[in-house]
Amino acid sequence: MTDVTDLDPVADGVDDTDPGPPAEPADVRLLRHLEPLLEMPVGDRGATRHGDSRAGDVYILTPEIETAVKVAVLTGRPLLLGGPPGCGKSSLASFLARKLGVGYHEFVATEDSRPSDLIWRLDAVRRLGDANATTLTGRTSRESTAPYVEPGPLWWALDPESARKRGFPGLAESDHAAPPDLLPGHEPARDGAVLLIDEIDKADAAFCNGLLVPLGSRQAFVGPLDFTVRVPTGAPAWSPLTIITTNNERDLPEAFLRRCLVLRLPAPDADRLVEIVHEHFGRSSEPIEQLVRDLAEEVTQPQSGRPVSTAEFLDLVKVLRHLGQTGDLDGGMLEMLKRITLDKHALYSADERSWLR
């Protein structure tokens, strides 16, 4: 049996091996890989993440979606979209706003949401501070309250002019409100608006039922101002075009469902995933194209486990395209990327998943 010391020149007091260059520290190696990414122009990297973006630039309509939108415009009813996470429910609204050339407003529901949150919010803390500083002296109750009322998405969608003046026509211009800039670079070219109420199933039944009158009558009451928001004369009969999404975490009230149009979007199949990739990134070299196709087939198989969202798939493809260009993509790297971008349940061990259930 050979002694390991027989293979070590140092054991004989002589070191004639060539150790080569010193190993690169991990932090230095990481920085070397990140530097080119950090210096990429915005046009290459993208101002927003492709999968999560609601910029409305890209959406692939199906005949069923087109028909549902037409019916919503003709009837003035909200369009309630269901389907698995990542199937394109939320992004339809911003796409429609861009294509129609109208304003865009959104509200993401939570378990604490109240119907009034969609219409107005009172900045009571700032109002109290200004009251202590005596800046409200000499104003009427409505005049003194208006600067602290923040118009909500529904108010902006119904009547942007009264929202800008916070419901008080005589409000000083310095106190005027402005809607959030949710679609960078988008300038509405006509009257009307698209309103997204996202993840309504997160809220309770009272929230849903509290929207029946505002959405049905196109008017909403602002309590602190004793003021009713109404659609102005001459506004489009369909506006706001309201898109509501649900992930079906809880059942919605029957009365609410009766007042909505309903469409369930399926999870994208392999062909649609590839089409979405092309819309976002264009076409790649043939090896990457084939890899994208194979991955799309893999993740859409019924036995593939947890459904993969469009956003997750776009994340994976974006990295694959980059590594394919740099020559850093091999089989081991591909499996690692799939675990990082797609296998979210690997975060928990089997015991932890059992406990979570």
pLDDT at 217: 95
pLDDT band at residue 225 using 50, 70 and 90 as cut-offs: very high
- Please state, in angstroms and rounded to a whole number, the distance separating the CA atoms of residues 180 and 167: 18
- Please state, in angstroms and rounded to a whole number, the distance separating the CA atoms of residues 356 and 124: 39
pLDDT in tens, 155-183: 999 999 999 999 999 999 999 999 999 99
Is 95:279 a contact under the CB 8 Å cutoff? no
pLDDT at 327: 74
Write the single-letter amino acid at 229.
Answer: V
pLDDT at 5: 41
**Across the chain, what does the average pLDDT equal?**
84
Q: What's the rounded mean pLDDT across residues 37-44?
A: 54
pLDDT at 71: 98
Phi, psi of 36 (to 5 degrees): -60, -35
Pair type for strands 241-245 and 79-82: parallel
Is 79:261 a contact under the CB 8 Å cutoff? yes
pLDDT in tens, 235-275: 999 999 999 999 999 999 999 999 999 999 998 999 999 99
pLDDT band at residue 53 using 50, 70 and 90 as cut-offs: low
Quick one: tokens of 242?
A: 């309201």
pLDDT at 75: 97
Is 59:280 a contact under the CB 8 Å cutoff? no
Burial of 156 (0-12, 13-18, 19+ CB in 10 A): buried
